[in-house]
Amino acid sequence: MQILPRIFRQNIINKNLYRLYTNKSTLQACIECAPLLERSLLRISGPDAATFLQGLITNDINTTEPASYAMLLNPKGRILYDILLYKNRNDDEEYYLLECDVRVNTAIENHCKFYKLRSKVDIVNVDQELAVWWAKYNDRESLAFKNEPILRTKDPRLQKLGERIIIPRHKNLSEYAQNLINVNYQEYVDDRMKLGICEGVSEVITGESLPLEYNLDYLDGVKFDKGCYLGQELTARTYHTGVIRKRLMPVIFLNPIDDNAAFLGSTVLNDKNKNCGKLRALSGKYGVALLRIADSLSGLLSVKTTNNTEVTLTASKPLWWPQNN
């Protein structure tokens, strides 16, 4: 008979634990975070830093308070690299941190130095000193810092992409904030896929695509009234003609597949067997494709895997697109 009270007591404990872990405020206090090991940082400083960057990036450097999204273009107006820029200050010196794909940090450093000319600018790779972290939460106020990081800002592309936090390379974000849950980097990738955001040279193909096809205008990554910059002419002309037939869109695969089954760059066909675009990114059942809008939204799409198996998918307009598009 003594067992029954213990069972009842255990049930009460279990119910209390359930209430604790399903309580809204508790869930809001849980902050997912991960180091973005595939991202790298360059430090750009000097009296001419702002003017120098203004001539290279698609965005207006004056809007980098403290972060902005932009692209570097080639002279023909094609995308070279996608970047995030951060403005910061240290010992009364203003400087910028340029975040990029770690695989092209040297290429971007050389690109910047090529156009430096006589500008009073210092360009330094600080990848060994600083690290970029990602944090995701339901309530921004729940991310309370006990020590201030070097920089903390909302992702300038979309609020749903969370925050970027920059700290010393040898540190862990748990040394700066509480209520953190370390998650796999793949969680960040999956969030990008669901939103239809491409990032890095494996997804943003160097020298091929136009910036507006990658939704740069919708992500506040380009300013059309800032004046001249490298590759500006074609971008401005494309925008003012108003004809952008292809854009990046999120896709969902209806059949479970391995990441290696459908390869990047595969042709996407619509239900009329018409070529309507290319697969640009893939993570499990989520992906991003560069698609002809008019041909991609009326029915099922398909793509052939490396072993010639046809896989079905659907595309959709992201909710963050302007309503009239």
> Does residue 320 belong to any structural domain of this protein?
no
> Does residue 196 belong to any structural domain of this protein?
no
> Does residue 154 belong to any structural domain of this protein?
yes
Domain count for the chain, please give it. Answer: 2
Find the helix or strand (DSSP H, E) in which 24 lies.
helix 24-29
Same domain, 230 and 166: no
Q: Which of 148, 171, 187 is the last residue of a domain?
A: 187
Same domain, 75 and 143: yes
Q: Are 290 and 247 in contact (CB under 8 A)?
A: yes
Angle at alpha carbon of residue 165, lines to 25 and 141, rounded to 5°? 25
Same domain, 104 and 219: no
Same domain, 101 and 180: yes
> Does residue 273 belong to any structural domain of this protein?
yes
H-type alpha helices, 137-282 = 185-195, 232-241
Q: Are 198 and 189 in contact (CB under 8 A)?
A: no
Determine the structural domain holding residue 71 and report its residue range.
Answer: 33-187
> Does residue 149 belong to any structural domain of this protein?
yes
Q: Which of 187, 222, 252 is the last residue of a domain?
A: 187
Task: State the Cα–Cα distance between residues 303 and 175, nearest whole angstrom.
Answer: 45
pTM of the model: 0.88
Same domain, 228 and 180: no
Locate 135 and state its tokens.
Answer: 């944090």
Question: Left, alpha or beta for 107 (phi > 0: left; psi -120 to 50: alpha)?
Answer: alpha
Instruction: Report CA dihedral (143, 144, 150, 156) to the nearest 10 degrees.
Output: 30
> Does residue 194 belong to any structural domain of this protein?
no
pLDDT at 262: 64
Same domain, 218 and 182: no
List the CATH number of the domain containing 226: 2.40.30.160
pLDDT at 17: 32
pLDDT at 149: 92
Same domain, 72 and 162: yes
Amino acid at 2: Q
> Does residue 274 belong to any structural domain of this protein?
yes
Find the helix or strand (DSSP H, E) in which 109 lies.
helix 105-114
> Does residue 15 belong to any structural domain of this protein?
no
From first to last of its 325 residues, the chain has per-residue pLDDT tens of 444 444 334 444 344 433 333 343 433 456 899 999 999 999 999 999 999 999 999 999 999 999 999 999 999 999 999 999 999 998 788 999 999 999 999 999 999 999 999 999 999 999 999 999 999 987 666 677 888 899 999 999 999 999 999 999 999 998 888 888 889 999 999 999 999 999 999 999 999 989 999 999 999 999 999 999 999 999 999 888 878 999 999 999 998 776 665 678 899 999 999 999 999 999 889 999 999 999 999 999 999 877 777 899 999 999 999 987 7
What is each CA distance from 14 to 7, 19, 24, in whole angstroms?
10, 9, 18
Same domain, 169 and 228: no
Task: State the Cα–Cα distance between residues 324 and 185, nearest whole angstrom.
Answer: 34
Question: Left, alpha or beta for 164 (phi > 0: left; psi -120 to 50: alpha)?
Answer: beta
Task: State the Cα–Cα distance between residues 133 and 62, nearest whole angstrom.
Answer: 24
What is each CA distance from 57 to 16, 49, 77, 158, 287, in whole angstroms?
54, 12, 11, 19, 27
pLDDT at 13: 36
pLDDT at 255: 82
